[in-house]
Amino acid sequence: MDSRRLLRTSATALAAAGLILSGCTGGNDAAAGPSSERKPAASSASPVSEAALRGYYTQKLAWSDCGVPGFECATLRAPLDYAKPDEAEIALAVSRVRATGPGKRLGSLLVNPGGPGGSAVGYLQGYAGIGYPAPIRARYDMVAVDPRGVARSEPVECLTGPQMDAFTQVDQTPDDDGETAALTASLKGFATGCAQRSAKILPHVSTVEAARDMDLLRAVLGDRKLTYVGASYGTFLGATYAELFPSRVGRLVLDGAMDPSLPAEDLNRDQTAGFETAFRSFAADCVEKAGCPLGTKSVAEATDNLRDFFRRVDARPLPTGESRALTESLATTGVIAAMYDEGAWPTLREALTRAIGGQGAGLLALADSYYEREADGTYANLMAANAAVNCLDLPSAFTGPAEVEKAVSSFEKASPVFGESLAWASLNCAYWPSPATGRPHRITAKGAAPIVVVGTTRDPATPYKWARSLASQLSSGTLLTYEGDGHTAYGRGSDCIDTAINTYLLEGTAPEEGKRCS
């Protein structure tokens, strides 16, 4: 399992398993061009030639029916390398659904569900474009662009379906030198596959480049300022945009925030603690129910029983009714997948009951949803794009197995359940063929309009302290807190959260600092 900063909304993470459904932007004004673009601090990204980009900023989108009722699709041209915009370009998939009215159109609302590697177009067409509050859809054209290297936008490709099956089953809690060698060989094989199949795009899928692409789209859509809702990793994308183009920030909602100031090891350890917090919340709920597969006495008992279950599966994988067995790594992934949304807890209880009884199909289905594996054995490019972006954005958490072994105890302190596995998963960028271009740094976006940062107190994937940190870094950041479970908060059942964000998007009024909802 490779979970290093795999950050998606709960809707994106679990929809495949059927677990859930659950100042004004002057849209008619002439769009601003590239003249105020900034180079982000602590980034090695090359400066951009403004004159060379003008053709990209003035392009016209050719919208057409894309086969999904109510939605239009188009292709946005962008330079492959912003430092050399005349040499090569890439094609980015864009989709929108027009504002339905009544009321004056406010412009475009760009959405991103996170990942990195999650399809924004798929998220728009499958959820946001039909599931966002009606007043928002009435006043905004809902728009999404698949970031470069993702889904429909010249996707990064690394392994075949059978190779991905093998990769996801590799033991990530190595017990001896042989298992350690097998794990490192799998990571090297993944990186080699990416280099062989995606050499052209691999060095050019950073978050900085994706943020620059968003500014192209903003201009081409005719909006002077960007209105944006980014969830999970999408908060880092949005914050990076604000750092690059503070004067073009309209209304930005960053839900389930990341902390851009942290190095990869700290991010991974914090996320490990986040999944532990979420598991303990699940366990507290489970032990109160008759027939809880992890026991009915205490959270401590449930923790011990899950660790024992993982050890047994490590020694003897479970049958699943198909050719793939449930390994410890797949079982761990299945449990983690259900941590994203408390609506998945009943499914996890059932899956654990069956697995402890000797049948692993339920946990395998959860793991497959997490990896976006289809029934025919093919995979979306989520995991490939996730690694490609992450490994450009930050230097690797660890450079080799010896460093992981030293860090395991700190990860296990953060999570007795998931610590060892997630420590080893943090090795995934050590063998990456393209050197990192980003560095951890604080993002202040001085001069930007008010930005709303949303944090959930028991968020598994983006711990609450990250939201507090990002809100304090941003010169115009306002923290909105949801006291609850699950990953992200907007559109997940809290009227208080939804009202605060809707008011901000429709009227431009940010919630008062320190506002808390439950």
At 460-471, the pLDDT tens digits run: 999 999 999 999
Amino acid identity of 217? Answer: L
Task: With cut-offs at 50, 70 and 90, classify the pLDDT of residue 48.
Answer: confident
Task: Mark whether 487 is an active-site residue.
Answer: yes
CB count in 10 Å sphere of residue 200: 11
DSSP string, 221-271: HT-SSEEEEEETHHHHHHHHHHHH-GGGEEEEEEES---TTS-HHHHHHHH
The predicted-structure confidence for 60-93, as pLDDT tens digits, reads as follows 999 999 999 999 999 999 999 999 999 999 999 9
Q: 49 or 406, which is more confident?
A: 406
Instruction: Give the integer Cα–Cα distance in Å for 373 and 428.
Output: 20
Query: Mean pLDDT score of the chain, rounded to an integer?
Result: 92
- In the three-class reduction of DSSP (H, G, I as helix; E, B as strand; rest coil), residue 76 is classed as strand
The predicted pLDDT at position 3 comes to 41
Q: Please check the confidence at residue 20 and state whether its pLDDT lies above 90.
A: no
Instruction: Give the integer Cα–Cα distance in Å for 271 and 414.
Output: 9
Instruction: Give the integer Cα–Cα distance in Å for 211 and 253.
Output: 15
Matching residue, tokens 């000797």: 358
- 95: phi > 0 → left, psi -120 to 50 → alpha, else beta; which? beta
Element containing residue 456 per DSSP (H, E): strand 451-458
Q: Please check the confidence at residue 29 and state whether its pLDDT lies above 50.
A: no
Average pLDDT over residues 42-66: 81
The predicted-structure confidence for 230-241, as pLDDT tens digits, reads as follows 999 999 999 999
The predicted pLDDT at position 324 comes to 97
**Given 232, 281, 415, 426, the catalytic residue:** 232
Task: Mark whether 459 is an active-site residue.
Answer: yes
Q: Please check the confidence at residue 10 and state whether its pLDDT lies above 80.
A: no
Task: With cut-offs at 50, 70 and 90, classify the pLDDT of residue 15.
Answer: very low
Instruction: Give the integer Cα–Cα distance in Å for 259 and 268.
Output: 11
Instruction: Give the integer Cα–Cα distance in Å for 416 and 300.
Output: 10
Boundaries of every domain in the chain:
1-518
**Residues whose CB falls within 8 Å of the CB of residue 316, separated by 6 or more in sequence, listed in order:** none
Instruction: Give the integer Cα–Cα distance in Å for 397 and 406.
Output: 12
**Given 459, 469, 476, 494, the catalytic residue:** 459
Average pLDDT over residues 23-32: 37
Nearest to 415 by CA among 284, 300, 272: 272
Instruction: Give the integer Cα–Cα distance in Å for 455 and 442.
Output: 18
Q: How far does CA 431 lie from the centroid of its chain?
A: 22
The predicted-structure confidence for 305-361, as pLDDT tens digits, reads as follows 999 999 999 999 999 999 999 999 999 999 999 999 999 999 999 999 999 999 999
Amino acid identity of 17? Answer: A
Using the Cα atoms of residue 374, residue 379, residue 380 and residue 383 in order, give the sign of their dihedral. positive
The predicted pLDDT at position 17 comes to 30
| 457 neighbors 484 (Cβ within 8 angstroms) | yes
Average pLDDT over residues 280-298: 96
Q: Please check the confidence at residue 128 and state whether its pLDDT lies above 70.
A: yes
Q: Please check the confidence at residue 21 and state whether its pLDDT lies above 50.
A: no
Instruction: Give the integer Cα–Cα distance in Å for 34 and 375.
Output: 44
The predicted pLDDT at position 34 comes to 56
1-518 has CATH 3.40.50.1820 classification: yes
Q: How far does CA 40 lie from the centroid of its chain?
A: 21
Average pLDDT over residues 425-444: 97
The predicted pLDDT at position 51 comes to 80
**Residues whose CB falls within 8 Å of the CB of residue 346, separated by 6 or more in sequence, listed in order:** none
| 232 neighbors 114 (Cβ within 8 angstroms) | yes
Q: What are phi and psi of 271, to 5 degrees?
A: -65, -35
- In the three-class reduction of DSSP (H, G, I as helix; E, B as strand; rest coil), residue 345 is classed as helix
The predicted pLDDT at position 401 comes to 98
- In the three-class reduction of DSSP (H, G, I as helix; E, B as strand; rest coil), residue 326 is classed as strand
Element containing residue 72 per DSSP (H, E): strand 72-79
Instruction: Give ∠ CA 201-8-163 in degrees, rounded to 5.
Output: 55
Nearest to 1 by CA among 249, 183, 241, 250: 183
**Given 314, 426, 485, 487, the catalytic residue:** 487
The predicted-structure confidence for 192-222, as pLDDT tens digits, reads as follows 999 999 999 999 999 999 999 999 999 999 9
Instruction: Give the integer Cα–Cα distance in Å for 20 and 63.
Output: 31
In sequence order, the β-bridge partners of residue 516 are 481
Q: Please check the confidence at residue 117 and state whether its pLDDT lies above 60.
A: yes
Task: With cut-offs at 50, 70 and 90, classify the pLDDT of residue 28.
Answer: very low
| 195 neighbors 156 (Cβ within 8 angstroms) | no
Predicted TM-score of the model (pTM): 0.92
- In the three-class reduction of DSSP (H, G, I as helix; E, B as strand; rest coil), residue 452 is classed as strand
Task: With cut-offs at 50, 70 and 90, classify the pLDDT of residue 52.
Answer: confident
The predicted pLDDT at position 47 comes to 61
Burial code (b: 16+ CB inside 10 Å, e: under 16) for 374-406 equals eeeeebbbbbbbbbbbbbbbbbbbbeebebbee
Task: Mark whether 232 is an active-site residue.
Answer: yes
